[in-house]
Amino acid sequence: MKEFANKTVFITGAAKGQGRAVSLAFAKEGANIIAFDLGKKLTYPVYNDGSTDALVKLKSDIEALGAKAYIYAGDVRNAADIQNAVNGGVKEFGGIDVLFNNAGICAYGYSHELTEAEWDSMIDINLKGAWLAGKYIIPVMRNQKSGVIINNSSVGGLRGMNRLSHYAASKWALVGLTKSWTLENTEYGIRVISLHPTGVNTPMNDGLAFMEGATPEEIAVRSAGNLIPVPWIEPEDVADSVLFLCSDKAKYITGSQYVLDAGLLTR
C-alpha cells in the first residue's frame, strides 16, 4: 500500500513551485489533495502569462497519477476563502491529515524604504495566511486526534537578510507560530514543524531577478556565494523532506525547525 493512501493533504500556494511539487509527491503516494491557490487570479509579476489555469492543470496532473484532488481558488488573506476551502475539502474527503502552509511571496526593499502596503502584504500573505489555515484546520485535526502541520519558512526564518527585512520577519514569525501550535496541540496528536529551505528553483525567482535586472542564477550566487554546490535546490527536494516529516518515520519530530540549506547557515 502507498504510504499516504486514504490520507488528505491541504496545501496552500499549491499551483506552482514548491506547492505543486509537494502536491504531486503526495498524490504519487496515494493521498487526496486539497489544493488552494489564487488560480486564475494569480497575479505574481513576470512569470504568470495568464495562458494556463495552474490549479486546473494541477488537478489534471494529480488525477493522472490515480489520486483525487479538490481545488479552490482563493486568497490566503481572506478568512472566508480558507474556511470555505476547508469545509469543501472535508466534505469531499472526510478530514484533513496534513497541512502544508506554503503560500508566500518575496520582494526586495530596504526596510526604511518599504511602503506600509508592501510591509502589510508580506506579513499578511506569509504569516496571516498560515495562521488562518491553521485556525480552520486545527479543529478538524483535534477532532481526529491526529495531524501534521508543516509551516514552510526559509533560511530567512533563522538569520537576518539584507533588503528582505519584511520577508525575514514573516518567516521568523512562523517559528514562533510553530512552537506555540505545538504547545497547544500535542495532546491532540498533532505534530507541528517549520521547514527552512535555502533558495528553491521556482518561478518566483524570475520575478525577483526581474526586479534586480539580473538572472535567477546571478541572484542565487549573490545570496549563497560559492558555499552550496548548486545555485538553487529543486522543489522536489523540498517535497521529499515534507513527505518524510509527515511520515511515521518522523513521529517524534515536533516543535522543531527542519533545515534544508545545503550548508548555507554554516556561514
- CA of residue 133 relative to chain centroid, distance: 11
Closest to 97 measured CA to CA, from 26, 45, 42:
26
11 neighbors 35 (Cβ within 8 angstroms): yes
- For the chain, how are helix, strand and coil distributed in percent, rounded to 5? 50, 15, 35
Distance in angstroms (rounded) separating the CA atoms of residues 41 and 202: 19
**Which position has the grid cell 486514504?**
6
Q: How far, CA to CA in Å, does 220 sit from each of 169, 198, 261?
A: 21, 10, 13
The residue length of the chain stands at 267
Contact 47, 262 (CB under 8 A): no
13 Rama sector, left if φ>0, alpha if ψ -120 to 50, beta otherwise: left
9 closest CA partner among 147, 163, 116: 147
The Cα 157–Cα 24 span in angstroms is: 26
* Positive/negative CA dihedral, 58, 11, 243, 139: negative
Active site residues: 167
| CB-CB contact of 56 with 73 (8 Å) | no
